[in-house]
Chain A
Amino acid sequence: MNFAWLAVFLALAPVLPAVATPGPVTDPEGLRFYSQGNYQAAVQLYRQALRGDPRNADLHYNLGNALFKSGQTGRAISSFQRAFDIRPRDADIRQNLDFALRRAGEELAPTGVPPLLFFTFHLLSERELAALHWLACWLLLVLAGLYLWKESLRPRLLSGTLAAGVLWSAFGAWWLAVRSGVSQQRGVIVATSAEIRSGPGENFNVSFTAPEGRRLQIFSQEGDWLEIGVLKEGIKGWIPAAAIDPI
């Protein structure tokens, strides 16, 4: 069994330097702008910071706050959603996303889904699930390799190998399920009241309107028009691309 731990350590060794890398430095300027009510300046600052660190959940969250305070509910929801995708367990991110969504007539936990189930499903981010899946996969491969290599250790390695297989299957399925939601093209309506038409053009009738901040799924694009589906109501239509902020 010591061989297995040795193998895991050896496998992790190359990534340890990355683990030790500290998080982004606190930005006092953004805090100052935000506290003074200069939300537009804070938005500019956070957007600039995100160009260098696009997977920083804190920056997405702070940008969402500044956008919301400046009256851009749709873009704020978009930012909060990105932060949620990266760090779904963060209580502040959940609260602000839910708060902003309720302004648009939605809730973070969809209607009909028990909140406990929803938040359990979103306990880990897609990245974290991918990592756990790979860890379980590594463990399985190393234990299976040792099982093949060392005949004398086979009786002791059998249960561990099977457990690693179960873990790998579970994390793999979970990861795929979350990934299927995250990898879909999504967007948020940023127009005050978006008109959703039956076809990709002004000559088509307006089928329905949707408020700013409503989350959408993007199916296809036809010129400047996007074919979308409204997640909550489950209805489809076409909307100008400019009216949507893709997530």
Chain B
Amino acid sequence: MRSWCLLLALALWPAAPAGAQLSISAQANKTQVPLDDQVVLAVTITGIQSSLPDPQLPTLQNFSVYSSGRNQSISFVNGQISSSVIHTFVLIPRVVGTAIIPSITVSAGGATARTEPIVIQVVHQAEPAGQAPAVQAHPTQTPTPRPAVTSRQTARPSGSAAAAPDVFVTMELDKSKAFVNEQMTLSVQFHTAVSLLGNPQYVPPQLEGFLAEDMPPLRHYNETRNGRNYFVTEIKTALFPLRTGRLTIGTATVHCQVQQQTNVDPFSPDFFERFFSQGLMTAQTRTLSSQPLRLEVTALPDAGKPIDFSGAVGHFSLAAATDKSRTKVGDAVNLTLTIQGTGNLKAIAEPAMPSLPSWRVFDPVTSVNLQKKGDLVQGSKIIRTVLVPRVSGDLAIPPVSLSYFDPTRNDYVRLRTQPLTVSVAPGEPNAVPTIGYIAPSAASAQGIIRVNEDLAFLKVRPRRTMFTRCLEAIAAAGLIHILPFAFFLWALALNAYRGRLSANPQGARFRGALKAAAARIRQAHDAGDAQEAAALMAEALTGYLAGKLGEPTAGLTMRRAQELLQKRQPQASQESIELIRSVWEDLDLSRFAPAAAATQNAEAVETLSQKLLLLLEVLEKELKR
């Protein structure tokens, strides 16, 4: 049940009504400000989602508004995510008097939150006393020192035919050559030697191919040109070229109205004209433009470019830190990477995170805090990443690296953070992690995650299967392999022998005569009585002689056998033939006159068989085929 509730909560978490817990507040660093100063307005938005909407700033007619950065922080408390973003604006007052910053609103999920209005009192410049408003210059103002610049490129005022015009606009760059993404500062100066009527309207130049960053506040100072005092209002903009080649900055334009005294002839005969026109001033509308500027943007050198270089140009430092050094499995740790320095911080890509298989890594949240001091865009970019340990132990966070190009050194620089270690204790069983959506039930839905790759452990218990052991024993059998071969060879020989026998029956009979006779003699030993034994032995003798002589067994008599032996086997000795007769007669006597033969016992049978075997042995030696 608990896991179901958790899953439901997880499912609904992203769609939770963000507006329900969305809040906004605004704070100005001062409520009274001189005309030549600035107000820093911090607008804080908080909510329970990582991605918060931007505030809707109302129209502020009494101020020039410049964005000065955005700083986001994210935190996890008791499994709840909360986020806050601080938007910083620089407000430059335009006119003296009471200025009201109306409610600033923010909307999300159908809900709207708003701030209380803020009242700002804009007063005249504190020093020197009685200084004129910025755009209504007074020629006697004390000159303000200008920031030092090098290798400036200046665009002269267009249409300045007169040697010392009343009003004109100039535009200049602090350098004529730059690398891609290197900061350069564009200054637009509005020179006035006469009083202006109303606020002039400034139209910034076309900045195609650049990323522009306002550099508030406006600066005011006096300058003498061609023997004439001018009150100068200067607007600075930081430019970051986006591409190589020859780039053009368009013309800066100012629309203004200048006071012009009515040109009346003092010797005019018309008395009324002379009388009413004394001290009468008329307004003249002027459109002033600067000359466009051209500059050369060069590509960054390929030599020595680090593999992880992603286009950062400037001068930076990199630091990494975790908000805790001890945690538990499943509890979140915030890893904060801080990039600090001068350059286009907004355009710096987040450094590649090293492989962290022991951690669950969430998408980083980035915040940029810009400070525009000394004509340089500087500040910090903070990248916060939530890490949740998957396993216990001392888990290392390897160094994170960032490469950038330093235009002052004309070389690449590679920064590396120090490696960090977080001691992670095992999580408690069934404990809900600080981030709810990595509960075990949800984690199991992600499948198996390989955290680390290592050797498989030792083989503690041998696991040799019977199959393997049998086969290894057979492979090591050695001489046993001979047995099947021997059997096969025997069968082969037997088959060949049988073949030969079937090809020559007479010869087979001749060769097998002794074997057949021996078999009969063995049978005779097992016979029941002497008479039967004698009959078997007689068959053995007759069969043997028939086989040797190639005659049928039936009808072979002793006389016939003797005759054939003498005729066909002349090498047979007379003693052998006589022995045949003797044995034959003994056998006949035992068969047909057992009483007379006195062969009634086993000993007599044995004696007879020995005699027969002796005869066969002799004949086997003498008879040749």
Residues of A within 8 A of B483 (CB): 10-11
Residues of B within 8 A of A18 (CB): 469, 473, 476
CB <8 Å contact, B459 and A61: yes
- B488 beta carbon closer than 8 Å to chain A: yes
CB <8 Å contact, B495 and A149: yes
**B461, B472, B475, B491: which contacts A148 (Cβ < 8 A)?**
B491
Chain A: interface size category: 35 or more
CB <8 Å contact, A148 and B477: no
Residues of B within 8 A of A10 (CB): 483
CB <8 Å contact, A132 and B487: no
Residues of A within 8 A of B459 (CB): 58, 61-62, 92
**Most chain B CB atoms below 10 A, which of A10, A100, A134:** A134
**B462, B469, B472, B474: which contacts A135 (Cβ < 8 A)?**
B474
**Most chain B CB atoms below 10 A, which of A56, A96, A135, A148:** A148
**A7, A21, A61, A68: which contacts B469 (Cβ < 8 A)?**
A21
Known: A26-B461, A144-B488, A149-B494. A132 touches B471 (CB 8 A): yes
Residues of A within 8 A of B470 (CB): 19, 131
CB <8 Å contact, A128 and B471: yes
- A232 beta carbon closer than 8 Å to chain B: no
- B481 beta carbon closer than 8 Å to chain A: yes
CB <8 Å contact, B460 and A31: yes
Residues of A within 8 A of B487 (CB): 7, 141-142, 145
Residues of A within 8 A of B464 (CB): 23
Min distance, Cβ B166 to any Cβ of chain A, angstroms: 77
**Interface code A141-164, partner B: CB below 8 Å = 1, 0 otherwise?**
110111111000000000000000
**Interface code A127-141, partner B: CB below 8 Å = 1, 0 otherwise?**
110111011011001
**A15, A31, A137: which contacts B473 (Cβ < 8 A)?**
A15
- B453 beta carbon closer than 8 Å to chain A: yes
**Interface code B444-465, partner A: CB below 8 Å = 1, 0 otherwise?**
0000000001111111111110
Min distance, Cβ A84 to any Cβ of chain B, angstroms: 13
- B268 beta carbon closer than 8 Å to chain A: no
Min distance, Cβ B490 to any Cβ of chain A, angstroms: 7
CB <8 Å contact, B472 and A127: yes
**B463, B471, B484: which contacts A142 (Cβ < 8 A)?**
B484
Residues of B within 8 A of A19 (CB): 466, 469-470, 473
CB <8 Å contact, B469 and A31: no
Docked CA distance A90–B471 (Å): 16
Residues of A within 8 A of B480 (CB): 11, 14-15
Docked CA distance A7–B488 (Å): 11
**B460, B468, B474, B495: which contacts A15 (Cβ < 8 A)?**
B474
CB <8 Å contact, A148 and B481: no
**A65, A68, A131, A141: which contacts B472 (Cβ < 8 A)?**
A131
Instruction: Kindly identify, within residues 463 to 514 of chain B, every residue whose CB is under 8 Å from any CB belonging to chain A.
Output: 463-464, 466, 468-477, 480-481, 483-485, 487-488, 490-492, 494-495
**A12, A56, A134, A148: which contacts B495 (Cβ < 8 A)?**
A148
**A26, A56, A134: which contacts B475 (Cβ < 8 A)?**
A134
CB <8 Å contact, A134 and B481: yes
Residues of A within 8 A of B494 (CB): 148-149
Instruction: Kindly identify, within residues 54 to 99 of chain A, every residue whose CB is under 8 Å from any CB belonging to chain B.
Output: 55-56, 58, 61-62, 65, 68-69, 87, 90-92, 95-96, 99
CB <8 Å contact, A144 and B491: yes
CB <8 Å contact, A131 and B475: yes
- A24 beta carbon closer than 8 Å to chain B: yes
CB <8 Å contact, B473 and A26: no
CB <8 Å contact, A148 and B456: no
Min distance, Cβ B595 to any Cβ of chain A, angstroms: 48
Min distance, Cβ A58 to any Cβ of chain B, angstroms: 4
**A14, A31, A69, A142: which contacts B455 (Cβ < 8 A)?**
A69
CB <8 Å contact, A95 and B475: no
Docked CA distance A12–B469 (Å): 13
CB <8 Å contact, A146 and B458: no
Residues of B within 8 A of A229 (CB): none
Residues of A within 8 A of B471 (CB): 127-128, 131-132
Docked CA distance A171–B35 (Å): 99
**A56, A58, A87, A138: which contacts B484 (Cβ < 8 A)?**
A138
Docked CA distance A61–B475 (Å): 22
Min distance, Cβ A95 to any Cβ of chain B, angstroms: 5
**Minimum CB distance partner of A42 in chain B:** B458
Docked CA distance A25–B492 (Å): 47
- A225 beta carbon closer than 8 Å to chain B: no
Docked CA distance A145–B489 (Å): 8
Instruction: Kindly identify, within residues 32 to 54 of chain A, every residue whose CB is under 8 Å from any CB belonging to chain B.
Output: 34
Docked CA distance A60–B419 (Å): 37
- A213 beta carbon closer than 8 Å to chain B: no
CB <8 Å contact, A14 and B490: no
Residues of A within 8 A of B466 (CB): 19
Min distance, Cβ B488 to any Cβ of chain A, angstroms: 4
Residues of B within 8 A of A138 (CB): 481, 484
**Interface code B34-53, partner A: CB below 8 Å = 1, 0 otherwise?**
00000000000000000000
- A237 beta carbon closer than 8 Å to chain B: no
Min distance, Cβ A196 to any Cβ of chain B, angstroms: 28
Min distance, Cβ A52 to any Cβ of chain B, angstroms: 14
CB <8 Å contact, B492 and A148: yes
Docked CA distance A92–B494 (Å): 53
CB <8 Å contact, B474 and A134: yes
CB <8 Å contact, A15 and B488: no
CB <8 Å contact, B455 and A131: no
Docked CA distance A19–B463 (Å): 14
Min distance, Cβ B429 to any Cβ of chain A, angstroms: 25
CB <8 Å contact, A141 and B469: no
CB <8 Å contact, B455 and A141: no
Residues of B within 8 A of A187 (CB): none
Docked CA distance A40–B491 (Å): 59
Residues of B within 8 A of A240 (CB): none
Docked CA distance A128–B464 (Å): 13
**9 A-B Cβ contacts within 8 A?**
A23-B463, A61-B458, A65-B456, A92-B459, A96-B456, A131-B470, A135-B474, A142-B484, A142-B487
Top 6 nearest A-B pairs by Cβ distance? A23-B462, A145-B491, A131-B471, A141-B484, A18-B473, A131-B474
Beyond the given A99-B453, A100-B455, please list 15 additional residue pairs across the A-B interface where CB-CB is below 8 A. A7-B484, A14-B480, A15-B480, A18-B469, A19-B466, A19-B470, A26-B461, A31-B460, A58-B463, A95-B456, A130-B475, A134-B481, A137-B484, A142-B488, A147-B491
